[in-house]
Chains A and B, each alone.
Chain A
Amino acid sequence: MRREPIDPAGIEWTRVSPKYLRVRLAGWAIGSAIFLLIFSVPLILLLTGVLPRIPLLPAVLLPAVAIIIAAWRGLLLPRQVRAIGYAERNEDLLVRQGIFFQRTMVVPYGRMQYVDVAVGPIERALGLCTVKLHTASPGTNAEIPGLPSSEGARLREQLSARGEAKLAGL
C-alpha cells in the first residue's frame, strides 16, 4: 500500500480482503441503477410520448451526467478498497480509509465499549464480515469492512480480550 502523507511511518497496514471489492461493486451497481433510473425519468416520459413537451437536451443530459458520475465512482472503487487498512498496536487499533478524503483513526483498546461483527447477504456469500468498534463517543465511526470471517472472529476475540485487560472507565 502506498504511504500517504498522514500515514504514520513504520506501520504495517493489514489490508482487507480483495474480495470486498465485489461487495462494493454490487452495492455500487444497485445504487447506480436506481440513480440512473431516477435521472432517466424525463427522457422516458419524452420517448414514450407521455410528456412530449419536455426539451430534449436536458432530458438527455441528465442520464448522461448520471452515467459519468456512476462510472467515475465505479472506477474509484478498487482504489478505495485498497485504501482501507488497519493495524493492531500494543495499546490501540489504527484504522485508515479514503483516497481523496483520507482518515486515520486510533481507537485505544481500553476505550472500547463493545465490538460488533455484522454480515450482510453479499458478504455472507463471499465469506466476509464487517467489524465495528464502539467507544463511549458516537464520533468513533471505526469500521473495518471486508474481513474474511475467520479474521473477523479472531479480531473480535482479540479486541474483546485486550479491551477487557485495559478497560478504563469513561
Chain B
Amino acid sequence: MTGSEPLPPPPPEAPTDQWKRVHIISPLVRGWIALAALIFFGGRDWFEGFLIGDSRGFRGDGPGNLTLAIAVVLGVVLLIAAGFFLSWYYTRYQVTEEHVRVNSGVIFRQHRQARLDRVQAIDVVQPFLARVFGLAELKFDVADAGESAVRLAFLKLDEAQRLRATILARAAGVAVDPEHPQDIPEAPEREVLSLTPARVLGAAALSGNTVAVLLGLVGVVLFAVVLDTGALLAGFVPILIGVIGGYWNVLNTGFNFRAAISPDGIRIRYGLLDTRTQTVPPGRVQAVGVVQSPLWRLKGWYKVTVNVAGYGASASGEAQARATLLPVGTLDEVLRVIALVLPDPGTDTPVDVFSAGLAGKGPDAGFRTTPRRARLIAPLAWRRNGVAVTRTALLARSGAWWRQLAVVPHERTQSLALHQGPLARRFGVADLVFHTTPGPVSPRVRQVAEEDAWRLFSEQAERAAEARRRSGPEQWMRPVTVEGPAGDPGTASEAPVMLPPPSYQEGSAHERF
C-alpha cells in the first residue's frame, strides 16, 4: 500500500490475511515532537550564531561555516529519515481468522500475536497531527494490565475502521458470507447520549480542581497579606500551570463526548484536538463506579468509570480518560449508561435501586447499611455505607461527601475477602473487599454488620459461581448462543438487527436485548 493512492473507489480488496504495513508517514507523525524540538533548538542555535556572526564577525568566517552547518543539518535529517524509513519498513501486521500479529523493530525484532477472541477493548485514536493527515491509530487490548497488546500507528482512518470492524466481527464469531469474506460491514450503532460543551465546561468549573484552586488562592493571599510579601505568589505559578493542565485534560477528554450501543458493544467517542473512539465488547466490563464530588451535588452530576481488563490501572491522564464511561452526567444519563453495561439489572425496580445507590441513605430499596452500633467509627457515612444485591449484580455504596457507588456483575467477581481490624471487631462490623481487574473502581462494602458480612461473603461466592456457569460465551455473536446479546447470528452481509438500547426506564425493555 502506498500513501499517495487516491482514496475513492477502493481497489478490489486483497485478503486481509496478507502482511501489510502501516502508513508510510506514520513515523513522522509519531516522532514529530522530537523532530520539532530538534529543528527548534538546532535552528535557534544556528540562527543566533548566524546573527551574531554576521553582526560582530567573531563567529568564524561566513560561507565555509554555513556550508558545514547545512551539511550537518542535512546529515542529521537524512539519518532521522533513514531511521524512520527502517522502522516503518520493518513494522508489518496481519489479521487472520483467529489472531492479529505485529512484527516490529529494526535491530531488536519483536513478533507479537494476540488472540482475537481475547479482545477486551479496541480503540481508534487520532492525535491532532494524525487527524490533519487523515490517519488513525488502532489499539487492541487483551487482558494484561499495562500497555496495549497491539498498536497499529498509523493507518488511514477508513482502513483503521475497517480493520476494527473485521477484528470485532471475527472476535464476535459472526458467520462471514463465504463468497465475499472481505465484506464485513461496520456494525450499526445507536446513539445513547451526548454531552453539550456547556455541560463539560460546567463540570470542569465545579470539579475538585476548582476547590483546590480556591483553597490554594485563599491561602496564598492570606500569607501575602499577613507577611506582607509576594514571595509565595511566584511559587503559585507552577501549581497554576498544573491546574490549567488538569482543566485542559477534563475539557479535551470530555468534549464532544458521545456514547452509543452497537452489537459489538459500547462505543464512546470524545476529544477536542485528539479524538478517540473506544469500543468495549459485551461482557468486558468488570466493574462500574459512579462518583460525585461535593460541588457536583449542586447540579446532580455524576461521573461513571469502569474497570476493563485491557485498560490497566495507570494513573496517566490517558488511562483515566479511557476508563471513563461518562465524564459528567445526570442521574438519568448515568442510569442509561449503566443499562448499557448491565442490560439486565436483575431487579424489578432498577431505577429505585440505582438511585438509592447513587444518592440514597438508609435502608431504602434493599440496601443494608452499617449498623447503628458502629456509628462511632463512621459518624458521617454510617447511613450511606451500604450494600444491595440484585440477581445479576452487587451494589456497594459509600462516602458521605464524595459519594461513591460500585457495581460488580456477579459473574465478574474475581475473588473476595473479609477484612476486620481490632476496632471493627469491637463494634461487630467488617469490610467486604471485591477484587477486580486493575482500574479506577475498587469495590468495597464498608463496615457492614458481621453477620451480614459473613452471609454476603458466602452467598456472593455461590452467586458468582452460579453466574459464571450461566454467563455468555466469549465470542458474543457466535451462532450457537445460549442467551447472548444477539440471539440471531445472521451473516455479515445482512446487517445485524439493531434493537433499541437497553434502558431501565421502560419496564422490561432490557429483557429483549
**Contact segment of A60-68, A79-87, A130-138:** A130-138
Q: Is the CB of A169 within 8 A of B474?
A: yes
Q: In angstroms, how far is the closest chain A Cβ from the Cβ of B369?
A: 19
Q: A101-B420, A135-B435 are in contact. Are A91 and B415 (CB under 8 A)?
A: no
Question: 7 pairs across A/B with beta carbons < 8 Å?
Answer: A4-B420, A6-B430, A101-B420, A101-B421, A104-B417, A111-B414, A137-B414
Q: Is the CB of B418 within 8 A of A6?
A: yes
Further contacts, 14 of them, CB under 8 A, given A102-B419, A136-B309? A6-B450, A8-B454, A8-B457, A104-B417, A104-B457, A106-B415, A106-B461, A108-B468, A138-B145, A139-B435, A166-B468, A168-B468, A169-B474, A170-B120
Chain B residues with a Cβ closer than 8 Å to the other chain, count: 40
Chain B residues with CB below 8 A from A170, complex form = 120, 143, 284, 286, 309, 412, 437
Chain A residues with CB below 8 A from B166, complex form = none
Contacting residues of chain B (455-485) with chain A, CB-CB under 8 angstroms? 457-458, 461-462, 464-465, 468, 471, 474
In the complex, whether B289 has a CB less than 8 A from a CB of chain A is: no
In the complex, whether B391 has a CB less than 8 A from a CB of chain A is: no
Please, which residue of chain B has its CB at the minimum distance from the CB of A89? Answer: B461
Q: How far is the CA of A166 from the CA of B465 in the complex (A)?
A: 9
Contacting residues of chain A (140-166) with chain B, CB-CB under 8 angstroms? 140, 142, 166
B residues sitting closer than 8 Å to A (CB atoms) are 120, 143, 145, 284, 286, 309, 313, 411-422, 425, 428, 430, 433, 435-438, 442, 450, 453-454, 457-458, 461-462, 464-465, 468, 471, 474
Q: How far is the CA of A162 from the CA of B327 in the complex (A)?
A: 41
Chain B residues with CB below 8 A from A140, complex form = 414-415, 435
Q: How far is the CA of A169 from the CA of B145 in the complex (A)?
A: 16
Q: How far is the CA of A8 from the CA of B437 in the complex (A)?
A: 26
Chain A residues with CB below 8 A from B436, complex form = 137, 139
Q: How far is the CA of A104 from the CA of B416 in the complex (A)?
A: 8
Kindly state the interface size class of chain A when it binds its partner.
20 to 34
Q: How far is the CA of A170 from the CA of B414 in the complex (A)?
A: 8
In the complex, whether A100 has a CB less than 8 A from a CB of chain B is: yes
Chain B residues with CB below 8 A from A105, complex form = 415-418
Q: Is the CB of A6 within 8 A of B453?
A: yes
Q: How far is the CA of A107 from the CA of B417 in the complex (A)?
A: 9
Please, which residue of chain A has its CB at the minimum distance from the CB of B286? Answer: A170
In the complex, whether A5 has a CB less than 8 A from a CB of chain B is: yes
Contacting residues of chain A (80-139) with chain B, CB-CB under 8 angstroms? 91-92, 100-108, 110-111, 135-139
Q: How far is the CA of A8 from the CA of B117 in the complex (A)?
A: 39
Q: In angstroms, how far is the closest chain B Cβ from the Cβ of A115?
A: 13
Q: Is the CB of B471 within 8 A of A168?
A: yes
Please, which residue of chain A has its CB at the minimum distance from the CB of B437? Answer: A136
Chain B residues with CB below 8 A from A138, complex form = 145, 313, 435, 438
Select A5's contact among B145, B415, B450, B461, beta carbons within 8 Å. Answer: B450
